């Protein structure tokens, strides 16, 4: 709805008008199959490779290292399952954190059920692991370390640079994967400098279309393809490429790269404004995780004594959209695994937390409306 105040950009983002325009042109004019050798096919192939070049440049990768996928979930699954398949003879130990996105956690649990050993590192009060934790967990049979770049619920940023450097210094090669779905577009990522081997990205988190993403695969890995049936995507992912979505993805990346610093400043200001307004209105609250070491667009708030699900409903009735955790867990009655890892399974914060996440079209004037409605809902729910 046009009158909805949307504060759930960590779940998905509205498409940028320029992205829609670029996709519309592609759908109208560039319908050729990129694998065809005639002119229409060559035009589509050109658009495909232009997009691959833009995406590669955004993370300092080689274009051949960019493989288009359907989004973050597929990219995470490829990174984890195909690394395990390739290196299973060398070892079956994997290191990760206790606050990974389900797209990482579920494939790892699948591998556990099939003979692999996964170490889930606990996080500190800020929702982070340390490079020392990762180093101490390494064994002779460790083949993969998968650490989320920035958490999708509380926004905590992991020490990716330090972990990458530490892994690069090991005598034996250990593959390093990071789920950068939330971080891409706001954080500066350099896969070479940070020694990242595998990286997952999704278009719909940066005002691009849904159903498209990419995985960066370091050329030295030579992972086997997950989908078979064609030569597309460097033989890593068979199937006709979705040119309109890829064109839209490219445009979204170009816009994000150009506006990155401006957006970071704006989102940080919106976060500070929200906290200041909560203080001004005298609303009791707590922040989950760290304010400083977090993604600028994600703010996890606990309102003591107020059920988060009921607060969300009250805000929804006021046409304000927030969330109570990962969008991939919507409708799930189980407690947030991220908050459980941060506290414990019986801590009240688990059922008293909402996530506010900022993005395109948000501005400071909207924060007043958000906080006023939070105050009204908290006052009502505290009495009932």
Segment 177-183 shows an average pLDDT of 98
Are residues 157 and 286 located together in one domain of the fold? no
Tens-digit pLDDT profile for residues 123-143? 999 999 999 999 999 999 999
374 pLDDT higher than 80: yes
Separation of alpha carbons 154 and 288, rounded Å:
6
Separation of alpha carbons 151 and 137, rounded Å:
21
Separation of alpha carbons 192 and 202, rounded Å:
20
Do 264 and 155 contact (CB within 8 A), yes or no? no
Count Cβ atoms below 10 Å from residue 20 Cβ, excluding itself.
Answer: 15
Q: How many CA atoms lie within 13 A of 189 on its CB side?
A: 31
334 pLDDT higher than 80: no
Are residues 231 and 284 located together in one domain of the fold? no
β-partners of residue 142 are: 93
Q: Is 328 a residue of the active site?
A: yes
β-bridge pairing 298-302 and 286-287: antiparallel
342 pLDDT higher than 80: yes
Tell me which residue of 1, 16, 17, 12 sits closest to 320, measured CA to CA.
1
Segment 273-298 shows an average pLDDT of 97
Given pLDDT bands bounded at 50, 70 and 90, which one contains residue 325?
A: low
β-bridge pairing 93-97 and 142-146: parallel
Tell me which residue of 298, 186, 207 sits closest to 13, measured CA to CA.
207
227 pLDDT higher than 90: no
Separation of alpha carbons 315 and 355, rounded Å:
12
Radius of gyration (Cα) for the chain, nearest Å? 21
Separation of alpha carbons 304 and 353, rounded Å:
9
Are residues 240 and 292 located together in one domain of the fold? no
Element housing 214 (H / E)? strand 213-217
Predicted confidence at residue 249, as pLDDT, reads: 98
298 pLDDT higher than 70: yes
331 pLDDT higher than 70: no
354 pLDDT higher than 90: yes
Segment 315-341 shows an average pLDDT of 79
217 pLDDT higher than 80: yes
Separation of alpha carbons 315 and 274, rounded Å:
15
Do 112 and 85 contact (CB within 8 A), yes or no? no
Are residues 47 and 162 located together in one domain of the fold? yes
Tens-digit pLDDT profile for residues 229-249? 777 787 778 688 899 999 999
Separation of alpha carbons 68 and 62, rounded Å:
14
Are residues 233 and 356 located together in one domain of the fold? no
Are residues 267 and 348 located together in one domain of the fold? yes
Do 35 and 235 contact (CB within 8 A), yes or no? no
Residue 303: CATH number of its domain: 3.90.1150.10
Percent of the chain at pLDDT exceeding 90: 85
Q: How does DSSP classify residue 38? A: S
1 pLDDT higher than 80: no
Are residues 304 and 348 located together in one domain of the fold? yes
Predicted confidence at residue 149, as pLDDT, reads: 98
Are residues 283 and 206 located together in one domain of the fold? no
Final residue of a structural domain among 207, 227, 254: 254
β-partners of residue 320 are: 5
Predicted confidence at residue 36, as pLDDT, reads: 84
Are residues 59 and 141 located together in one domain of the fold? yes
Final residue of a structural domain among 254, 277, 309: 254
Predicted confidence at residue 382, as pLDDT, reads: 86
Are residues 51 and 9 located together in one domain of the fold? no
3-state SS string over 79-111?
HHHHHHHHHCCCCCEEEEECCCCHHHHHHHHHH
Are residues 325 and 357 located together in one domain of the fold? yes
328 pLDDT higher than 60: no
Tens-digit pLDDT profile for residues 2-35? 589 999 999 999 999 999 999 999 999 999 888 8
Predicted confidence at residue 232, as pLDDT, reads: 79
Residue 100: CATH number of its domain: 3.40.640.10
β-bridge pairing 320-321 and 5-6: parallel
Are residues 228 and 369 located together in one domain of the fold? no
β-partners of residue 299 are: 356
* Burial group, residue 176, by CB count within 10 angstroms (0-12, 13-18, 19+): buried
Predicted confidence at residue 2, as pLDDT, reads: 57
Tell me which residue of 93, 34, 77 sits closest to 225, measured CA to CA.
77
Predicted confidence at residue 333, as pLDDT, reads: 55
Tens-digit pLDDT profile for residues 31-76? 988 888 898 888 999 999 999 999 999 999 999 999 999 999 999 9
273 pLDDT higher than 70: yes
Percent of the chain at pLDDT exceeding 70: 96
Residue 116 structural domain? 17-254
Do 186 and 271 contact (CB within 8 A), yes or no? no
Final residue of a structural domain among 254, 270, 302: 254
Tell me which residue of 296, 206, 220 sits closest to 255, measured CA to CA.
206
Domain count of the fold of the chain: 2
Tens-digit pLDDT profile for residues 78-128? 999 999 999 999 999 999 999 999 999 999 999 999 999 999 999 999 999
Residue of 287, 328, 340, 351 marked active site: 328
Please indicate, yes or no, whether the overall pTM of this predicted structure exceeds 0.85.
Answer: yes
168 pLDDT higher than 60: yes
């Amino acid at each position: 709805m046009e009158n909805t105040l949307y504060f759930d950009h960590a779940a998905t983002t509205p498409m940028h008008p320029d992205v829609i325009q670029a996709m519309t042109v592609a759908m109208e004019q560039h319908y050729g199959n990129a694998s065809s050798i005639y002119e229409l096919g060559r035009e589509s192939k050109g658009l495909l490779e232009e997009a691959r070049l833009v995406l590669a440049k955004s993370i300092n990768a080689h274009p051949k290292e960019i493989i288009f996928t359907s989004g973050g979930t597929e990219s995470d699954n490829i990174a984890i399952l195909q690394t395990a398949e390739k290196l299973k003879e060398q070892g079956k130990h994997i290191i990760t954190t206790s606050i990974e996105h389900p797209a990482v956690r579920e494939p790892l649990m699948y591998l556990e059920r099939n003979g692999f050993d996964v170490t889930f590192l606990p996080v500190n009060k800020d929702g982070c692991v340390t490079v020392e934790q990762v180093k101490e967990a390494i064994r002779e049979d460790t083949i993969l370390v998968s650490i989320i770049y920035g958490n999708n619920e509380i926004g905590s940023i992991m020490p990716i640079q330090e972990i990458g450097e530490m892994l690069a210094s090991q005598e034996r090669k250990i593959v390093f994967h990071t789920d950068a779905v939330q971080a891409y577009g706001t954080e500066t990522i350099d896969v070479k400098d940070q020694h990242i081997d595998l990286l997952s990205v999704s278009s719909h988190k940066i005002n691009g279309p849904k159903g498209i993403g990419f995985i960066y695969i370091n050329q030295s890995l030579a992972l086997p393809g997950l989908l078979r049936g064609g030569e597309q995507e460097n033989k890593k992912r068979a199937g006709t490429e979705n040119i309109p979505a890829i064109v839209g993805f490219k445009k979204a990346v170009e816009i994000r790269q150009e506006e990155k610093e401006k957006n970071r400043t704006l989102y940080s200001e919106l976060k500070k404004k929200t906290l200041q307004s909560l203080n001004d209105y005298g609303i009791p609250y707590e922040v989950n995780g760290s304010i400083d070491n977090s993604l600028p667009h994600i703010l996890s708030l606990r309102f003591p004594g107020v059920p988060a699900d009921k607060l969300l409903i009250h805000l929804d009735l006021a046409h304000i959209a927030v969330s109570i955790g990962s969008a991939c867990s919507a409708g799930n009655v189980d407690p947030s695994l991220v908050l459980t890892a941060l506290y414990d399974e019986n801590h009240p914060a688990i059922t008293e937390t909402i996530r506010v996440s900022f993005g395109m079209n948000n501005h400071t004037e909207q924060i007043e409306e958000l906080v006023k409605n939070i105050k009204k809902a908290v006052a009502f729910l505290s009495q009932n």
